[in-house]
Every structure is written in C-alpha cells, then in structure tokens.
Structure 1
Amino acid sequence: MQVAERTFGPYQFWIDFLRLCMGERVIKDNLDIPFDKAVVRSRYAALWASTLTAYAAAITYLHRDGLPKWLMTQSTSLRAVLLVIIALVLAGVSGTVGYGVLRLYTLVTHNLTTNLFKVRGQRLRLLSVETTLLSLVLPIAAGWVLQLYSLVLGWAVMLIAILYGLILLSRIYNVIFHIHRLRGLYVLVGGTLVTWFVLSIGALAIAVAAAVVGFLILLVLRAFHH
C-alpha cells in the first residue's frame, strides 16, 4: 500500500502546538522532512508566530495608550475598516520579516555552532526543529497579554512555555548535532548567545551605515538647496 505524501497547510502551526503540548514526538516526526516542505512549513509558522507577536505588542500599546486620536475621530464603520486593514498589513509585514529572521537565524546559528563547538549537524534539521518550536510563541504571546491584567499568572505562563521549549530544544540538539547528555544544553546556550551577539553587531552596523548614508544625503540636499 502506498503511503500518502505529507502536506503542510496554513494551520500546521496550530496542529504542531497541540501535539507539542503532548510531548516531543512532533519534533522527531518532522525532523527529516524534505527541503521544499520544510520551507513551506517554516513560512506558515513564521507568519503565525510573527503575527501573534505583533498583535500582542499592539494590544499592549492599546492597553496603555488607547486608540490613536486620529482613529477615534472617524466614524464607527470607517474605524472598523481601518482596524481590519491595519491588522492585515501588520500580519503581512511581520510575517515577511519573521520568515527572513528565521532563515537568517538558522543559517548563522548552524554555522557558528558547528564551527565553534566542533560538532556536525544538518541545517535543514535545525530549521525543522525551530519551526516546530515556534508554536510556543502562542502561549508566550498569550502570557504577555495576560500579564497586563494578572502579572503573576501572565509571567508564569511565559516562563513555563520558555522552560519547556528550552528543555525540548536541548534534548533535540543531541540528535541534530550528534552529541550526548548535557552537552546539548551547553551547545544550545553557547550557540544562542554567540548568534544573538553576532546578529546584534550586524544590526548595529547596518543602523550606523544607514545613519551615515542618511546624513550624507541630507548634506547633498542641503547643498543643492543653497
């Protein structure tokens, strides 16, 4: 009997979350999926995770400052339409940026981890694992919103989700990079810290370069103005 080929749709993110609540089996089941399917799956996961993060940030802003004054002056129907448009734009932009960050983070993490810690592992496996664990953004975002109303409960939800993800990731690092026992946690923490340091330096360099270019453009425009 021929086994049906697995497909990954836009709701795979939520399926992964439900399965992740029951243990690490979902991580191992998706560890060796083909590249094309891993890319599709990671795009949907990045879209959902980034959108949930953006919405949690938006809710935090609205809880603190309320709707902008220019939006409050509009009619109820127009305000509803504008809110829907803003929500869709926010989802599209955050999803695109989130996918780019995911792929860049996977690339940098894999290269730094394999070179600094002298281990071997497949980047595709790392992408698949990170894609699965992105579903934990759901309880983290929910906890962030919840802490606006109950500080202790909200932070408890976030910490449980983060610790659970850390435990799962350290365990699966042993499989990805062919190491054993607590070395997975050591490689995970070390690789993550180095990766974020490198990415932060890169982001700072880009920001400085953009500021310099902007300053030069202003100088040129000012010279032409005079």
Structure 2
Amino acid sequence: MMKKTVFWIGLVAMASVAGVANAHEGGRDFDGGHGGHGGHVVYDDHFHHDHYYPARGYVVAGVPHGALAVGFGRDRYWFSGGVWYRPYGPNFRVVVPPFGVVIPLLPSAYVTLSIGGMPYYYANGIYYTLAQPGPGYVVVQAPPGADNAQAVSAVVPSAAPPAVVASPAKPEPVIYPRNGQSAAQLEADRQGCNRWATTQPSAMGDASVFSRAVEACMDARGYTLR
C-alpha cells in the first residue's frame, strides 16, 4: 500500500510540473485570461495612480475593442486605456510609445501633475503634455523634477486588473489617392485630418467617432478609404 501511495504522489507531482512548464511556455504567464495578478500584470502606484496594466512585452492576440490606431512616421501603434500596442507578427505586443507621438485624448485613468509651472499627465509610466500646436497630447520624457512632483488631481475610474483577452484589431483602412497625391501629401493630409477630428463633438472621448471624422475628412480631400 505504501508503494502504491508513493507511486501516485509521484504521478501528481510530475503532472503539476508539466502544467507549470506549459503555462510559462514562450516566456509568458497565463492565468486563463482573467486578468489576475500573474507575471503579465503590473501595479502602478506612482503618484498614487494605483492602477493595473499589462506588463511591457506581454503579447496578446488582438488589441481591445475601440483601440485607437496612431501613426508615427512609418510605424503604427494602437492605444487603449493607457496601454500601447505594436504589431508583433500576427499578434500585438505591449510596448513603450516613442517620444513625440501624439494622441487625441488622454487615457481614462491618469494623474495630473504640475512641474515647473507646466501641466503634465501621467499614466502607466508615461508622461504626456499638451501638443504644440494642438489639439491633442504628446508623449514626452519624464521632465526634470518629476520624481518629486505632487499630484494635482487623479482620474482613476477603476483599479481592477485589465483583461488580457482582447478582440481582434479592426484592420487599418487602406488609403487610395483619387487625385494622384504623393505619399508625402497623403501623410500630411492624414495628420491634418487627425488634428481636425479631435475638434469634433465627442471625438475626444469616443475612438469610433474620431475614426469616422478622420475618414470623412480624408474623403473630402480626395482619398478613398477601404
């Protein structure tokens, strides 16, 4: 009886080890996609922000529904809830955005800081300030004195861990110039339409409204989006 007991304990231990190995295959932690406190989730308490985010480098099958596509040079990023994503093969990887990239609206949870008499906005390790010329917000380096800054106000709608299972990203529309516009002109028009879209009602709080405004603007400038 003792030998049989030892035998079954050994089998259970081997199965447990195999399960842990499978869960960490590829260097990623999995918890069934429920957004728990595994290695893929970090807690940002800087400036009492007190919010959970997916860890940098974590890979997901798709970005969250309603994520905003943001162009920066030849690169394309997706932004949702203070988290930045970049294509990674057929999937998306959580990344640090480049300095200088502009977004039309701040994340839903952020901390307002006053540094050197200037307003800054902080979320998920990233600092934003008003874009010049505006509208919009630009990603910047941590300004001097940021470590000792005091929060003016905080917007934290929820401190619950984010879900890491996301819906597939909506494909970025292909832009066809109808009037023979050059690639440089296309990019200038696209950026101009992005700026104009931020001035439309509800666009700063609804990514779908922002996208429709951009498409309407590009159509008026002689482009077909499909």
Q: Which has the higher strand share?
A: 2
TM-score, normalised to structure 2, is 0.25
TM-score, normalised to structure 1, is 0.25
Q: Which has the higher helix share?
A: 1
Of structures 1 and 2, the one scoring higher in RCO (CA 8 A, sep 6+) is 1
